[in-house]
Amino acid sequence: MKIGLLGASGYTGGELLRLLESHPDFEPHFIGAFTHAGEKIINLHPQLVGYGDQLFDSMNISKANECELLFLAMPHGESAAIVSQISGEKKIVDLGADFRLEESDSWKKYYGGEHAGTWVYGMPELPGSRQKIAASSKVANPGCYATAIALGTFPALSVIDASDIVVVAASGTTGAGRSPKVTLLGSEVMNSLTSYKFGGVHQHTPEIEESLARIADTKVGISFTPILAPMPRGILATITARLAKDISSSSLRDLYRNAFKGEEFLSLLPEGMMPRTASVVGSNYVHVQVALDEHSNRVVISVAIDNLGKGAASQAIQNANIMCGLKQDLGLKTYGVGV
């Protein structure tokens, strides 16, 4: 299949190109960028030596329309304008936020401007999602934090108070994008941790609440504090929620085993083994640990993902595989780096 990638010069675009190079059925045909059009791909993604002297294309909609499947890897607010120029029958996976939210008021509050609409939400492991993705030609790829938090929380929804979920999650600096910022300079982030978008204003908050509310069939409330970690990539999320029902530790683990059964990318780790970001970097895998805090009567969940992998590029390819009737793990069976 001819594949198009719009917004290929960013970190997510580079990860998509890395994965697409070894995908047996997806062949990059159009690799578009904005300000970096005409530059060599390897100048911005020096790891991608297989692309040789190939250049980034300008954002040529005619060439994009030659493709059967398109990945949009652009900042929020930009996908909607591009989509309006693309032939309606094309399959599209949007890695931006434009089509993730159901509530227009939430879009206006957290992003600003007019809400572009809602596409099928592309988190295949959530109950009922895979069938919707397979039947759709337009899929909204989830945010990185939203992926870690929703996948770590949904198995416990039947036993927790969903209105009282507290999350503290640390992400690598690539989660902030490639645009230069003083706060992301190496001298600023090394040997330091800092919270940001503090006090419930992070834009992934409504996305997490909506994705979990569809499963719980009740209102979900998230208190979310993100942290910038001094590493390039990876997310480690710690989720706690008050118990609404009595449950033993073994029964809680059974909930997760049953929810993850048959899901090759979701792993409930053995007791005593904790998720590590290094174990999932470069992969589509999700590592989860869960425990009961009997002192506070809360469930505690730890989740590790790669923010550029399962949090972005590899999940987008997983969604595309499903949309195209292919095995969902095609091109994605690589384990994390580990060290």
**Could you write out the DSSP letters of every residue in 35-101?**
TTTTSBHHHH-TT-GGGTT-BPBP--HHHHTT-SEEEE---TTSHHHHHTTS-TTSEEEE-SSTTT-
**Domain CATH for 318:** 3.40.50.720
| Mean pLDDT, range 305-316, rounded to an integer | 98
List the structure tokens of 298.
Answer: 């809360």
Residue keyed to tokens 């059964």: 261
What is the C-alpha separation between 267 and 263, in angstroms, rounded?
8
- The residue that leads in pLDDT, 339 or 28, is 28
* The one catalytic residue among 59, 126, 144, 332: 144
Domain shared by 64 and 162, yes or no: no
pLDDT of 47 reads 96
Domain shared by 178 and 299, yes or no: yes
In a domain, 17, yes or no: yes
What is the C-alpha separation between 102 and 121, in angstroms, rounded?
10
267 beta partners: 287
Domain shared by 166 and 291, yes or no: yes
pLDDT of 160 reads 98
Burial class (CB in 10 A: 0-12, 13-18, 19+), 240: middle
Sorting pLDDT into bands at 50, 70 and 90, what band is 332? very high
Q: How many CB atoms lie within 10 A of CB 106?
A: 18
pLDDT of 257 reads 98
pLDDT of 187 reads 86
Sorting pLDDT into bands at 50, 70 and 90, what band is 18? very high
pLDDT of 60 reads 87
Domain shared by 201 and 133, yes or no: no
Residue pair 6/70 in contact (Cβ under 8 Å)? The answer is yes
| Mean pLDDT, range 277-302, rounded to an integer | 97
pLDDT of 181 reads 84
Say whether pLDDT at 339 is over 90. no
| Mean pLDDT, range 172-189, rounded to an integer | 87
Residue pair 313/12 in contact (Cβ under 8 Å)? The answer is yes
Give per-residue pLDDT as tens, 122-161: 999 999 999 999 999 999 999 999 999 999 999 999 999 9
Domain shared by 22 and 129, yes or no: yes
What is the C-alpha separation between 130 and 120, in angstroms, rounded?
10
Mean pLDDT, the chain, whole residue set: 95
Domain shared by 76 and 124, yes or no: yes
> Is residue 144 among the annotated active site residues?
yes
In a domain, 14, yes or no: yes
Domain shared by 173 and 48, yes or no: no
Domain shared by 78 and 193, yes or no: no
Domain shared by 52 and 185, yes or no: no
Q: What are the φ/ψ torsions at residue 99 (nearest 5 degrees)? A: -120, 20
Q: What's the structural domain count of the chain?
A: 2
In a domain, 296, yes or no: yes
In a domain, 332, yes or no: no
In a domain, 110, yes or no: yes
Say whether pLDDT at 328 is over 90. yes
Give per-residue pLDDT as tens, 70-90: 999 998 889 998 999 998 899
In a domain, 20, yes or no: yes
Strands of 222-228's sheet, edge to edge? 194-195, 222-228, 160-171, 235-243, 298-305, 286-293, 266-268
pLDDT of 210 reads 97
| Mean pLDDT, range 265-287, rounded to an integer | 98
Domain shared by 288 and 161, yes or no: yes
Q: CA nearest 203: which of 176, 229, 174?
A: 176
Residue keyed to tokens 């970690």: 229
Give per-residue pLDDT as tens, 109-118: 999 999 999 9
pTM: 0.96
List the structure tokens of 235.
Answer: 């997310």
Domain shared by 183 and 258, yes or no: yes
Q: CA nearest 6: which of 98, 88, 69?
A: 69
In a domain, 206, yes or no: yes
In a domain, 335, yes or no: no
What are the residues whose beta carbons fall under 8 Å from the beta carbon of 18, sequence distance 6 or more?
45, 47, 48, 313
Say whether pLDDT at 46 is over 90. yes
What are the residues whose beta carbons fall under 8 Å from the beta carbon of 166, sequence distance 6 or more?
222, 223, 239, 240, 241
Give per-residue pLDDT as tens, 198-250: 998 999 999 999 999 999 999 999 999 999 999 999 999 999 999 999 999 99
Domain that holds residue 82: 2-141+310-323
Domain shared by 152 and 276, yes or no: yes
**Domain CATH for 302:** 3.30.360.10
